[in-house]
Amino acid sequence: MSINSPITQKVLPLVARAEPDELSLWCEHLSQALAPTHTVKLLAELSVDECQAAEVAIVANPDPKDLQSLPNLKWVQSLWAGVEHMAAELPQDGPAIVRMIDPQMANTMSEAVLAWTLYLHRDMPRYAKQQSTKIWREHALELPSDRTVTVLGLGNLGKRSALRLKANGFTVCGWSRSAKTIEGVETHSGADGLAKVLSKTDIAVLLMPLTDDTRGLINEQALAHMPKGASLINFARGPIIDDTALIAALDSGQINHAVLDVFASEPLSESNPYWSHPSVTVLPHISAPTIHSTAAKIVAENVAAFAQTGKVPESVDRQRGY
Ligand code: NAP
């Protein structure tokens, strides 16, 4: 999308539902990265004129009502990569939503994908269970090349993760909405492609956005396509998995182990069965947190490019939902 006039905005509002400590940390990093051309202020600190002049705002889980006080907003820069709440809450004809696309986040995510794939590959959950009952028993070791790890979602995070798994000797497949070519990775797309790729997958890594199409995608049928004893890593969004189906598949042994970093409701409630399930590793949404310093630089680059060209950076396709 292109915009006719270059902006004169000097103050960037930060609109976020976050703890005060988190907000001041962001203000500090963003102010440093955006100086000397722009300053960053919390919405409540903006004058009426500054609200009027705002064509860009920096956001993290913003209250849509807060954005209404910025009548000339053209785009919002999210500090997060996942924007499904914002995409659902903001009007379709509202400001363009620019996601956080940070190469450092892709590196951090690929590190987490490799770490937890190795955890499953080297049977760590099984040895931990054995230790808890003082069992000394070794199990045959498989080569990484004998394990097929499939990355579902081959975007900014998924592609880097697939390449890192490949570099570590795994047999890697990938699946995305549109067809992709990635050297050394067997790629699939579409609904048929999903069933086909799951049928040969030992470890599935979820890295696609939550949209109308992906909600509940990993259901009883999808889990049944996987070979018995396969495992799952969810680093994307909780509602992509049908929890009832996953728990049934874990109980029956269809799925051997699930590493879950994201949940339908976070923080996970004390009564949630995942906490105590013997075949589940619960992580508190930590696989790839936004790094303040590198993310602030991405924001500064996008803002500077917009100031120069008047072009809104690549934004979320509101129809597609990501
Ligand atoms: P991205 O660059 O937009 O990539 C998304 C990928 O998913 C693309 O390959 C896309 O296919 C694919 N996809 C989307 N809808 C699909 C569908 N219906 N069927 C098949 N494939 C589909 O996103 P990203 O930056 O890699 O981030 C992915 C997600 O990771 C985020 O949305 C967020 O939810 C999650 N995340 C989690 C954490 C964490 O700490 N746990 C941190 C950051 C992000 P195409 O290539 O064909 O478009």
- pLDDT bucket at 2, cuts 50 / 70 / 90: very low
Average pLDDT of 61-83? 96
- Ligand 1 atom at minimum distance from 288 CA: 40
Q: Which residues are paired to 232 by β-bridges?
A: 204, 258
Alpha helices per DSSP H over 54-172? 64-67, 84-89, 103-121, 124-132, 156-167
Nearest to 280 by CA among 236, 218, 231: 231
Please give the pLDDT value at position 319: 92
Q: 36 preceded by cis ω (within 30°)? A: yes
Q: Mean pLDDT, to the nearest integer, of 18-33?
A: 95
pTM of the model as a whole: 0.95
Q: How far apart are CA 260 and CA 280, in angstroms?
A: 7
Which one from 160, 188, 237, 257 is the annotated catalytic residue?
237
- Nearest residue (by CA) to ligand 1, atom 30, is 236
Decide: residue 95, CB within 10 A, 0-12 exposed, 13-18 middle, 19+ buried: buried
**Both structure tokens of 23:** 């907000």
Give the span between the Cα atoms of 231 and 223, in whole angstroms: 10
Q: What is the pLDDT of residues 186-234, one digit of tens each?
A: 999 999 999 999 999 999 999 999 999 999 999 999 999 999 999 999 9
- Judge if the beta carbon of residue 209 lies within 6 A of ligand 1: yes
Instruction: Categorize the per-residue pLDDT at 296 as very low, low, confident or very high, splitting at 50, 70 and 90.
Output: very high
What domains can you pick out in the chain, each with its CATH number?
11-102+290-309 (3.40.50.720), 105-282 (3.40.50.720)
Share of the chain above pLDDT 70, in %: 98
Compute the mean pLDDT over every residue in the chain, rounded to the nearest whole number: 96
Query: Which atom in ligand 1 lies closest to the alpha carbon of residue 154?
Result: 9
In 2-124, at which residue ranges do the beta strands (DSSP E only) sit? Answer: 11-16, 39-42, 56-60, 75-78, 96-98
Q: What is the pLDDT of residue 8?
A: 74
**3-class DSSP assignment, residue 267:** coil
